[in-house]
Structure 1
Amino acid sequence: MFQKNLEVLKVKNPVLASKLEKIDIANIKNIDVVNAESKDLIINYNKVNLHSSLDPIREAKTVWHRTIKTDLKVNDIQIVFGLGLGYLFKRAFVSSDSKIFLIEPFIEVLRFVLEYVDFSVEFSENRVFITDNIEDLNQKLQAEFLSGDKVEFLFLNSFAALAQDQLIKLTQTALEICESKSADQNTIFNQCKSWVKNSILNLQYYSESRPLGFFEGVFSNKTALIISAGPSLVNQVQKIKENRDKFIIIAVAPILKYLIQEGIIPDFATFTDASNLSFHIEGIEEHLSKINLVINSRAENCIIQKDFKSKIIYLSETDLAAQWFRDHTSADVGLYKSGGSVSILSYYLAKAFGCNVITFAGLDLAMVNNKIYADGQDLQCNEAGDYVIPGKVIKKLMHVKGYNGQMLPTRDDYALFIRHFEEIFRQEHNPARIINTSTSGALINGMEYMEFDDFINIIGSPSFTISQELSEVIEKTQDKWAQLNDSIYPELKNQYKKIQEIDKLAKPVISELREVCVLFEDQEINFDIIEAKISPIKDSMAQVRNDVVKNVFLSIYLQNEIWKYTRQYNTSVLPNLDDVKANMKLELEFFTSVNLAIDNIIQSMETAFLILDKKIPTVKNRVISIT
């Protein structure tokens, strides 16, 4: 029996299978099999019955119905804590078609049970995931949970008693992941349309830029100072000026004006937001020619067209448009982690540069002494406790632990950024030393905290010439980059033509769907009439939906609409007339959104072509230098 179960686990979770295979069943001494009063078998682990000694089947059924109050859909998730002999797991399995993430905290229990109970059928289903540790389960949840999915926790009292700390940790971390993923998805839905527009329009200025991948390791073993906008920066500005030549300064966009006003010209300025970026350069445009720009490929288009010293494009691995660009040019352009904030992006930038000391200044991620930013803005709250600027609610306030142990007020999105940083430092290997000089701000686990003076003492007095090293890369890659820009141009033209073809197919469908929806107003309507009207356009509808999902720009632009469509569409084998009516209304909404998306994307492409048509033939003759 064990081998049969093991073969399935080798496919599902090979690491777990390997651990189980190394456990000799003969060495397990603390598990006994006994009979419940119902005559069903139960197991006793460390002198504790893992199931009801009266009726384990009834216990599992009761727990399931007490916990699950509404119908679960296929994308919902049941987290079953504790397998035992499988009564609760099997109840979850047969009662719903949802996903099941099963964690057995006691690996010897799992090894013992798999010796005698056949779970191979259940384990082999794609919707079932099994592990023995919280980290695996959290990674699975991180990968599969989407906003709107329900997550239910199922456990027996015996497991709650025996593994209380693990259960508490599991629920806390799982809820944090769901909260974070929901926030991430809301950001995607709110910004995806701007991302597409910016990604296309920014292509106009790629010829005078370079991708970050060309600069991998260019500042190997150098020190980077990433300057964020937190209030503690006020106490460090003078020290930064006094030691200006000892590190590479990377300034996040929101602090740029403040630094320049204080007489500090950073080496790099990072921009990542999809909108409202022009504010960060108002009144300081004459200084931009002294600063190297690093810009996310989908950041607002108004920035890349400014006269910076040089321009570096940051392509994110989670951005489908960036992947499309890489796939049609070269892997050398580089795809990098997507930061939840511009400070996180700046960290990945310093890492790509090869810096062996990455230090943060002004990274408070909390309100220090009632101040919000380094420019002295005071924290103001409305009656509901929300952080506000004049007349406008910005973010919910909460409290986080400070480095010195005190609880500090912060924005809810800052709390998520803290979590993102901690997740980065927990999961990835970075040989660089990560230092935070904001000892009055929030505690970010994984960072080394020290005062700014101590940071200066450890780095000594290095010497390097940033402009020369950047110029060498730019000049060396001139011809290669020109060729890559030449190759992406026809691909963009090809996308333009494909989207026009989808538009031609979609517009007649919209007209027919409108007529179908009007038919439902007739009290005498029936299935035959509706089917006769829908049948001629079914193939076109399917073709458009398929083409939209496959098209890189449309699929990004319509993420919200695609999510809504897939979630709300009724797939019943025998739908009633109301189901069909709701589906047709949903189809009309979706196809109308497709039509609007096409109009906007085509407009962005045609705007880009006005410049690209002139630039591309002359790219190879352009020479960019930094002085």
Structure 2
Amino acid sequence: MVNSVLEANLVTLRQYRSDLYERVVDRINEKKTKKYSIETAANGSPNLFVQATGRHLYSKYNPEHECTRWAEASDWQLEKHQVVILYGLGLGYHLASIIQQHPHLDFFIYEPDIDLFIESMYVIMLSLIINHSKFKYLAVGESSNEREQLFYWIHMYADPSRITLSIPYYQRMGQEQFAQFVTEMKRSLMSHLSNEQYASHYGQFSLLNTLRNTPAFLINPSLKGLHGKLAGKKALIIGAGPSLEDEIELLSDLQDNMLLIAAGSSVQALQHYGVEPHLIVAIDAGNYNYNVFKGNKYDHIPLLVVPQIHYVILMERKSGFLHAFFEDDPFVKKLFSYSDNDPIFVRNHSVTGTAIQAAIYMGCEHIILVGQDLSYPDKRIYAPGAIHLDEKAIIDNHTQITDLVLNVHGTKNPTSPKMKLILNDLEQLIAANPTTKFTNTTKNGASIQGTDWVSLQTIIKDLDSMSYTRAQFQEDITRYTSEFSEAEIHDVKDRILKMIIQVDAIANDTRSVELLVSKLRQLSRTKPVKCLKVLADIETKWRAVTESAFFTEIITEWMKTELIAYDRSVGGIERESNIILKSDLLVEILGGFIAKLQYEFRHIKRLLTNRLIHMKYLKLIEE
């Protein structure tokens, strides 16, 4: 016999999240041993029996009273926050008590056990949760994608004044898992915040650089020719951390024995002490990176860049450069055709990650890190000579030093949340390359998981007879690398022309939405029935715009900051039932966003057209 409550809940779930609905249905249809069963407490309320423990999830006598007491005991934590993230839904008693005693709280729900969630759907009314005015998001299951989706929603829609609480069952049965969840959430929210701040400062400028640098990329070689050519060699990747000062004099003993890679601004510190690397890796889009390279001081040193790099660096450079790509760059995907053998790297939170990937791509089997403090020993930020930051940026860095991190000596270094994120990001990169040996020689820096700490003196002492000079590296660049072929250049031209057509098409589709939006104020007040039809048309046409390839691939990155603001505002439109107020909100919020969107369409088209003009000027394509 079909359970009517389950049926109703499945309908609600499908309307709310079709992806979660499909996972739940697939799980229901699996033949599996039941982990839970519904029983009845002494007061007649549903209870959940846990087969693994032989115990009930709630009091055998009065589940509601037990959960009310739990919520009362949590009053001191809940009353000073605006949002609660509830770890565990169970049969909803804990959530109900929170809602009753703290009606001001927005709530997010994470139920880690899909089987427990399914069992709950036989007795709870899911619609009462999902349709509640304070409900924000429901996530179910232990997959990393499901958690990351929840974290994104928390980042987007949760007030910073938030608290994470676990229901008692998971405190007893999964305390370690709850602690891991909290750690993952903090890390993810910091990453989202960092990305949002980057988008706010450099996001569109980064993509502008990609477009502006495209012609220069076509006349300079890719790193592809060096793929695997440095097999068996070691790479020393140099950061600009404070500890570099203690090791700098030893680097001259290594520069003829292994590939020396200067990660970003560390080249300033190296020049300060008269040391020249084999290669500089630079990726940053902003002016601080331009400050490193202005004046052409390093034009004689090979340079590896990605398209996002500040375009003036390449415009002023008197010699050529090597290039690679980031896999998540939307314009790169649109403009260039590449294979698995091309240098397509994961975007990291620091240039050191790109330098590591480049060394591995070229075949280096042993990566040695120096000057990679990834913290602030004695609250120092950079080694002497690294002078690309202005006074304001230095002060900002100091104000963010609020945490501690384990260092290579087993004590603690001052650090910041952002630097912790960079450290974790680097550790994940190291873990993803288990066949590469990683050695950390940074004298006073943070401990880096996945590396062995060895002093630089020991590295020098154990050097083998293999040599690899800067001249040899330059010879390898000349011998193995090449520029784009004529066919590849014409493919880029065709791709630019195709993008211009796409811009025109989406601009026309957006104008049709804009025209409908402009009618709403009058229709909502004079012809409400017709207004409802126009609202439905707007929803259909706007969905077509936002789900188009150009919007999802380009605009979501190009206008990331504006889209975040729009997404945070649009919830008010969806909840508004009064047709006049709803129409006014649409005119203000959607109409305002469309006006910005149309401006950016014109801007992108102009940039693409100018790239073709530049390619003609360089005689890469015909008139």
- TM category, shorter: 0.7 to 0.9
Question: Contact 1:89 / 1:102 at 8 angstroms: preserved in 2?
Answer: no
Name the counterpart of 1:210: 221
Name the counterpart of 2:207: 196
Q: Give the letter for the 2:477 counterpart.
A: L
Q: Give the letter for the 1:278 counterpart.
A: Y
Matched, 1:441 2:452: no
CA distance in 2, matches of 1:431, 1:15: 38
Deviation, structure 1 residue 241: 0.9
Deviation, structure 1 residue 100: 5.1
Write out per-residue CA displacement over residues 571-624 of structure 1, whole angstroms, 9 at most, x where no aligned residue.
3584432222111101222122113313432343343233211335479xxxxx
Name the counterpart of 1:613: 616
Question: Contact 1:146 / 1:185 at 8 angstroms: preserved in 2?
Answer: no
Write out per-residue CA displacement over residues 459-504 of structure 1, whole angstroms, 9 at most, x where no aligned residue.
42322432232223214xx5x6442222011211221243245446
Alignment of 1:209-228 (within 5 A): 209-228=220-239
Q: Give the letter for the 1:604 counterpart.
A: L
Name the counterpart of 1:531: 531
The 3 A distance-change label for structure 1 pair 601 and 250 is same
Question: Contact 1:400 / 1:415 at 8 angstroms: preserved in 2?
Answer: no
Unmatched 5+ stretches in structure 1: 71-75, 381-386, 620-627
2:197 to 166, 186, 194: 186
The 3 A distance-change label for structure 1 pair 572 and 194 is same
Deviation, structure 1 residue 330: 4.4
Question: Contact 1:513 / 1:588 at 8 angstroms: preserved in 2?
Answer: yes
Deviation, structure 1 residue 160: 1.4
1:473 to 475, 480, 487: 480
CA distance in 2, matches of 1:312, 1:271: 11
Write out per-residue CA displacement over residues 31-75 of structure 1, whole angstroms, 9 at most, x where no aligned residue.
9998633244443665765322332356568878989989xxxxx
Question: Contact 1:227 / 1:363 at 8 angstroms: preserved in 2?
Answer: yes
Question: Contact 1:9 / 1:16 at 8 angstroms: preserved in 2?
Answer: no
Name the counterpart of 2:12: none
CA distance in 2, matches of 1:11, 1:513: 35
Name the counterpart of 2:306: 296
Deviation, structure 1 residue 146: 4.6
Alignment of 1:213-252 (within 5 A): 213-252=224-263
Question: Contact 2:237 / 2:368 at 8 angstroms: preserved in 1?
Answer: yes
The 3 A distance-change label for structure 1 pair 352 and 141 is farther
Matched, 1:343 2:321: no
CA distance in 1, matches of 2:251, 2:24: 50
What is the DSSP-based 3-state SS (H/G/I as helix, E as strand, rest coil) of the residue aligned with 2:447? coil
Name the counterpart of 2:13: none
Question: Contact 1:272 / 1:295 at 8 angstroms: preserved in 2?
Answer: yes
CA distance in 2, matches of 1:418, 1:392: 19
Name the counterpart of 1:80: 87
Deviation, structure 1 residue 102: 2.3
Q: Give the letter for the 2:345 counterpart.
A: Y
Unmatched 5+ stretches in structure 2: 7-18, 131-136
The 3 A distance-change label for structure 1 pair 412 and 532 is closer
Name the counterpart of 1:43: 49
CA distance in 2, matches of 1:461, 1:513: 73
Deviation, structure 1 residue 24: 7.7
CA distance in 1, matches of 2:291, 2:53: 64
Write out per-residue CA displacement over residues 85-106 of structure 1, whole angstroms, 9 at most, x where no aligned residue.
78669999xx9999854224xx
Question: Contact 2:490 / 2:621 at 8 angstroms: preserved in 1?
Answer: no
CA distance in 2, matches of 1:331, 1:144: 33
CA distance in 1, matches of 2:151, 2:225: 31
Question: Contact 2:404 / 2:416 at 8 angstroms: preserved in 1?
Answer: no
Q: Give the letter for the 1:175 counterpart.
A: K
Over the residues paired in the alignment, what is the CA RMSD in angstroms?
A: 4.9
Question: Contact 1:388 / 1:395 at 8 angstroms: preserved in 2?
Answer: no
What is the DSSP-based 3-state SS (H/G/I as helix, E as strand, rest coil) of the residue aligned with 2:450? coil
Name the counterpart of 1:320: 330
The 3 A distance-change label for structure 1 pair 90 and 612 is farther
Q: Give the letter for the 1:367 counterpart.
A: Y
CA distance in 2, matches of 1:257, 1:581: 55
Name the counterpart of 2:10: none
CA distance in 2, matches of 1:252, 1:571: 47
CA distance in 2, matches of 1:467, 1:580: 64
CA distance in 2, matches of 1:487, 1:540: 32
Name the counterpart of 1:421: 426
Name the counterpart of 1:361: 370
CA distance in 2, matches of 1:515, 1:115: 48
The 3 A distance-change label for structure 1 pair 187 and 256 is same
CA distance in 1, matches of 2:188, 2:449: 17
CA distance in 1, matches of 2:535, 2:147: 45
The 3 A distance-change label for structure 1 pair 606 and 141 is same
1:161 to 172, 176, 183: 172
Of stretches 166-175 and 443-452 in structure 1, the one that deviates more from structure 2 is 166-175
Q: Give the letter for the 1:566 counterpart.
A: D
What is the DSSP-based 3-state SS (H/G/I as helix, E as strand, rest coil) of the residue aligned with 1:417? helix
The 3 A distance-change label for structure 1 pair 393 and 431 is closer
1:282 to 294, 311, 320: 294
The 3 A distance-change label for structure 1 pair 368 and 114 is closer
Name the counterpart of 1:483: 487
The 3 A distance-change label for structure 1 pair 439 and 202 is same
CA distance in 2, matches of 1:251, 1:260: 11
Name the counterpart of 2:566: 565
CA distance in 1, matches of 2:174, 2:543: 50
CA distance in 2, matches of 1:115, 1:558: 42
Q: Give the letter for the 1:206 counterpart.
A: F
CA distance in 1, matches of 2:170, 2:317: 63
1:600 to 592, 603, 606: 603
Write out per-residue CA displacement over residues 97-144 of structure 1, whole angstroms, 9 at most, x where no aligned residue.
99854224xx9xx69x9899979999xx9965323x9x7865665677
Of stretches 346-355 and 392-401 in structure 1, the one that deviates more from structure 2 is 392-401
Q: Give the letter for the 1:423 counterpart.
A: Q
What is the DSSP-based 3-state SS (H/G/I as helix, E as strand, rest coil) of the residue aligned with 2:171? helix
Of stretches 339-348 and 364-373 in structure 1, the one that deviates more from structure 2 is 364-373
2:403 to 374, 380, 399: 399
CA distance in 1, matches of 2:124, 2:486: 56
Name the counterpart of 1:590: 593
Question: Contact 1:485 / 1:616 at 8 angstroms: preserved in 2?
Answer: no
Deviation, structure 1 residue 159: 3.0
Q: Give the letter for the 1:446 counterpart.
A: G
Aligned residues: 576
Matched, 1:54 2:61: yes
Name the counterpart of 2:14: none
CA distance in 1, matches of 2:230, 2:65: 65
Of stretches 304-313 and 461-470 in structure 1, the one that deviates more from structure 2 is 304-313
Of stretches 332-341 and 49-58 in structure 1, the one that deviates more from structure 2 is 49-58
CA distance in 2, matches of 1:59, 1:527: 54
What is the DSSP-based 3-state SS (H/G/I as helix, E as strand, rest coil) of the residue aligned with 1:244? coil
Matched, 1:258 2:269: yes
Question: Contact 1:64 / 1:154 at 8 angstroms: preserved in 2?
Answer: no
Write out per-residue CA displacement over residues 493-541 of structure 1, whole angstroms, 9 at most, x where no aligned residue.
2212432454466568768867867x69xxx945549939968995876
Name the counterpart of 1:384: none
What is the DSSP-based 3-state SS (H/G/I as helix, E as strand, rest coil) of the residue aligned with 2:377? coil
CA distance in 2, matches of 1:166, 1:501: 49
Of stretches 306-315 and 502-511 in structure 1, the one that deviates more from structure 2 is 502-511
Deviation, structure 1 residue 560: 2.3
Name the counterpart of 1:455: 459
Question: Could you state the TM-score of these two structures normalised by the residue count of structure 1?
Answer: 0.76
CA distance in 1, matches of 2:123, 2:214: 53
Question: Contact 1:359 / 1:435 at 8 angstroms: preserved in 2?
Answer: yes
